[in-house]
Structure 1
Amino acid sequence: MRLLVVEDDDGIAAPLVTGLRREGFEVERAATGAEALAAPEPDLVLLDLRLPDMDGYDVARGMRARSRVPIIMVTARGEEVDRVVGLELGADDYVVKPFGLRELIARINAVMRRVSEPPVGAAEPEPVVEVDGLAIDRRRHEVTLDGAPVALTPKEFALLALLAGDPGAALDRRRILEEVWGTRWYGPSKTIDVHISSLRRKLGDPGWIETVRGVGFRLRAP
């Protein structure tokens, strides 16, 4: 597996790269955001948020604009707002310094399993789901409403596809976080509300996604 470690601090990057290589990973290091964006696409990115030439969030935006490569944000920031912003930008996981190498490797493996394998025993979902003019094409990663395309971010698409998998059923926040963001963060989950708000706006009618108080959300035709 090819990893790109984006970290400007030599004291952190050197032992991290050494440790990951010892575990069998192919590792390339970038010390700046510009180097990260110019590097060949890896299998997974470990992205520090504090870089000398640009904010790590800007690097994540640049990567997401052209690729769906898995991103684990690695940072000393621990506030919930930083977690929320990172998840909104499409990060697949979030690790706060200091962390152990074993924990990081476990998170890398967990992210790669989520992006490459369907759940064990799960039935293959229908490639296209239609709900009263709203069509979600999982294979082509496209959404149309009454034949008109709806532009969504990767996380917005994943969230809508999850809700569309069982129209009318209420999905709780914990399941949404686990299946869309692959995280077991059970504190406040403002990132879900941000994405729901964006989906409602893009679908043109807030009635498409109903809030189920005390539970979560469900998809239903307005």
Structure 2
Amino acid sequence: MNYHIGLVEDDANIQNIVSAYLKKEGYEVTIMDSAEKGWELWENDPPDMWILDIMLPGMDGYEFCKKLRTKSEVPIIIISAKDDEIDKILGLELGGDDYLTKPFSPRELVARVKRLFRRTLPKHNLQEEQTDRLKVDHLLIYREDRRIFFQGNEYEVTSKEYDMLLLFAENPNRAFSREDLLLKIWGNDYFGSDRAVDDLVKRIRKKMDNIPLETVWGYGYRLRKEEE
């Protein structure tokens, strides 16, 4: 399958270099120099992934990311000249799945694109089909379609919310430290603090009222499973 990537970047040099590397890997790339043009693409031919600059004319990348997250959980990689930790945290909290600071290596960007596709798109093989449906009390996860149900209701979740819920559902009653969760969900190249874990848990709890996602004080979190 040739995945379609939307590149929203107003620097022509970066446009040319990034699109050339992505096309070499077999991706279809649509280049736009504003978030407004990106939104038009989303409405007419939505890409499978976005690579999004923050500093754009008109609507900035943060606003575009926030607006897009009200409609879709499509993967988003943010690229920006802003390298302050607060900017990175803001980008991730608004729904970005990854954040890359300029200047960056095009090869590193391609590697992150591949990794994010592997993590967010459904996988198709016999072994996974056998374990597609995962149920822990009132939480039900369909791995193949990346669908989440709780107490009979389906919820739209971000890729990291899905990753966390899947990890907990695969390991009910197991306590994970914040460091464990950072490594397993964000990867070993994550640059921020463990505050991201607390923020992600808060979002899940707010979204799914009464989900038994418990705090293990001074350590981390666990998903409580009722005794048989």
One fold, TM greater than 0.5? yes
Tell me which residue corresponds to 2:80: 75
8 A contact 1:76–1:97 mirrored in 2? yes
Q: When the two structures are superposed, what TM-score results if normalisation uses the length of structure 2?
A: 0.78
Q: Please list every run of 5 or more consecutive structure 1 residues that lacks an aligned counterpart in the other structure.
A: none
Asked if 1:109 corresponds to 2:109, the answer is: no
| Superimposed CA distance per residue, residues 167-193 of structure 1 (whole angstroms, 9 cap, x where no aligned partner) | 110123344335444563154122221
Contact 1:84 1:190 (8 Å CA) reproduced: no
- The equivalent residue for 1:209 is 213
Residue 143 (structure 1) aligns with:
149
Q: Note the alpha carbon deviations across 1:126-166, whole angstroms, 9 max, x for none.
A: 514132xx222325723223x4x374532434322321221
Compared CA separation, residues 41 and 54, structure 1 to 2 (3 A): same
Contact 1:93 1:182 (8 Å CA) reproduced? no
Whether the 8 Å contact between 2:5 and 2:29 is mirrored in structure 1 is: yes
Give the alignment's TM-score, normalised by structure 1. Answer: 0.80
Indicate yes or no: 2:166 matched with 1:161: yes
Deviates more, 1:208-217 or 1:175-184: 175-184
- Counterpart selection for 1:190 from 195, 211, 217: 195
> In 1, Cα distance between the equivalents of 2:215 and 2:93?
20
* Structure 2, gaps ≥5 residues long: none
For 2:72 and 2:108, how far apart are their aligned partners in 1?
A: 26
Q: How many residues align?
A: 217
3-state SS in 2 of match to 1:68? coil
Q: How does 1:13-92 map to 2 (within 5 A)?
A: 13-39=15-41, 40-92=45-97
Offset at residue 26 of structure 1 (A):
2.5
Separation in structure 1 between the aligned mates of residue 162 and residue 20 of structure 2, nearest angstrom: 37
* SS at 2:20 equivalent: helix
Structure 1 residues 157 and 108: alpha-carbon distance in aligned structure 2, compared to 1, 3 A threshold? closer
Distance, in Å, in 1 between the alignment partners of 2:74 and 2:83 is 23
- Structure 1 residue 8, shift from structure 2 partner: 1.2
In 1, Cα distance between the equivalents of 2:109 and 2:146? 32
Aligned 8 A contact 2:52 2:77 in 1: yes
Report the 3-state secondary structure (helix = DSSP H, G, I; strand = E; otherwise coil) of the residue aligned with 1:51.
coil
C-alpha separation in 2, matches of 1:66 and 1:19: 29
Deviations 1:34-60 (A, max 9, x none): 111111222321110111111212212
Secondary structure in structure 2 of the residue aligned to 1:38: helix
Residue 4 to residue 203, structure 1, CA distance change in 2 (3 Å): closer
User: Structure 1 residues 60 and 183, CA, compared in 2 at 3 Å: closer, same or farther?
Assistant: farther
The two structures, once aligned, show a CA RMSD in angstroms of: 3.1
In the aligned structure 2, how far is the partner of 1:2 from the partner of 1:205? 38
User: 1:140 & 1:79 partners in 2: Cα distance?
Assistant: 32
Please, which moves more after superposition, 195-204 or 75-84?
A: 195-204
Structure 1 residues 89 and 26 mapped into 2: Cα distance closer, same or farther (>3 Å)? same
Percent identical across equivalent pairs? Answer: 33
- Kept in 2, the 8 Å contact 1:93–1:183? The answer is no
**Change over 3 Å in CA distance of 1:21–1:47 after alignment to 2:** same
Cα distance, 1:22 vs structure 2 = 4.4
